Structure 1
Amino acid sequence: MKAQLLVMSTPDGPFTILAQDGVVLASGWTAEPGELTGQIHPELRPGDVEAVTDLGSISRAVEAFYAGDPAPAMTVPVRQKSGPFRSHAWDVLRTVRPGSPVTYTEYAVLSGNPKAVRAAASACAFNAAALFVPCHRVIRTDGSLGGFRWGLAIKESLLAREATESLLAREAG
């Protein structure tokens, strides 16, 4: 099945999306599609990929995020495949409020297994759909950033952007 590939310019650098039938398979801050295809579960990996200039609502969600509205990115359909805990944990990540990062321990609790801190961290590490499944919203218990496949500078930028928007929303509301 053919997938669509889009590379968008963002303030954090090129952001590439691999999607199929309006569903994100993988995304991240790279201009190299090969960095994404290896993250896709073999059963979901597309055979053919075509470059496109727009992905409709997916593109608009990325633009909205960088314009200060992270909500649309959480409604973009995503397809990833893994075991039950990791799949559930990815769904849970999409409910973490922008501007309110959680620790890996809190993420494990939210995911239904307080003792599964390493499994929660693994869900972040194996998340192929960066931004749409916001693993950047998970930090260490001591408040440090922890890891991020796309680099700590990008994670810090994303968190700062969301914190600013969250503060503005609270002041307006």
Structure 2
Amino acid sequence: MLKYRTLDTNAGAFTLVIAPTGAVRAAGFTENVGELLDLIHPELQAPAEQADDVGPAAGHIRSYFDGDRTALDSIVVEQHSGGEFMRQAWKVMRDIKPGAPVTYTEFARLSGRPAAVRGAASACARNPVALITPCHRVLRSDGSLGGYRWGLAVKRFLLDFEEAKA
């Protein structure tokens, strides 16, 4: 059984879906847990129940919004995809530092496949663990925001928030 909790943050409602291991399987700027459950790989899906205690992840999210830019680094995630490149890209994405966004082209290079710019964009689009696996830190080559599942206003807020704390 998965647990979930919605937190009020500076960027809006943020819901965490937590595995029995305590790892985050999905997260996003929504109160609709069903929307998040749909993002979880079928091999990791399970029913979810609302809980007040979802482990340390909630505290780390609060610390991040209180200004601790490294708080997200401590959160364990459980992401699964059908491909090696996607798993590698999500791992690399966790290493993109706050206040230092990269372009899709640079992200593809960092992920080990410089020509896979579309694959890098797909890794961002299919990321089930928003904020913690920070797809918001990946931009278009011209520096514009590109897309963001949770809205460009949230992406802009997060980038500005991290830049201000840099």
Normalized against structure 1, the TM-score is what?
A: 0.92
CA distance in 2, matches of 1:62, 1:54: 13
SS at 2:42 equivalent: coil
Structure-1 residue corresponding to 2:41: 41
Which residue identity does 2:37 align to in structure 1? Answer: T
Give the match for residue 171 of structure 1. none
Cα distance in 2 between the residues matched to 1:74 and 1:118: 26
Q: Deviations over 1:80-130 (max 9, x none)?
A: 111100000000001011000000000001001110100000000000000
Match of 2:90 in 1: 90
Which portions of structure 1, spanning 4 or more consecutive aligned residues, are displaced by more than 2 angstroms?
none
Matches of 2:112 and 2:100, distance apart in 1 = 19
For residue 170 of structure 1, what is the aligned residue in structure 2?
none
Shift of 1:131: 0.8
Q: Which segments of 5 or more consecutive residues in structure 1 lack a partner in the other structure?
A: 167-173
Query: Structure 2 CA distance, aligned partners of 1:70 and 1:92?
Result: 17
Greater shift after overlay, 67-76 or 110-119? 67-76
The answer to whether structure 1 residue 131 and structure 2 residue 131 are counterparts is: yes
**Once the 2 structures are TM-superposed, how far is the Cα of residue 70 of structure 1 from its aligned partner?**
2.5
- The answer to whether residue 120 in structure 2 is matched with residue 120 in structure 1 is yes
Distance (Å, rounded) in 2 between the aligned partners of 1:158 and 1:52: 26
Aligned to 2:22: 22
* Superposition deviation, residue 75 in structure 1: 2.2
Cα RMSD over matched residues?
0.8
Instruction: Give the paired residue count.
Output: 164
5+ residue gaps, structure 2, are none
Letter in 1 for 2:16: I
User: What are the residue-to-residue correspondences of 1:24-173 with 2, within 5 Å?
Assistant: 24-46=24-46, 48-82=47-81, 83-166=83-166
Query: Matched residue of 2:30: which SS?
Result: coil
Which amino acid counterpart does residue 97 of structure 2 have in structure 1?
R
Note the C-alpha offset of 1:54: 2.8
Which secondary structure does the structure 2 equivalent of 1:43 belong to?
helix
Q: Equivalents in 1 of 2:92, 2:18: separation in Å?
A: 21
Distance 1:49 1:19 in 2: 9
> What is the aligned-residue identity percentage?
47
1:57 positional shift: 1.4
Q: Hey, what's the Cα distance between the residues in 1 that align with 2:55 and 2:45? A: 21
Preserved CA contact (<8 Å) 1:74 1:133:
no
C-alpha displacement at 1:69, in angstroms? 1.2
Offset, 1:73: 1.0
Write the distance in 1 (CA, Å) between the matches of 2:113 and 2:79.
Answer: 21
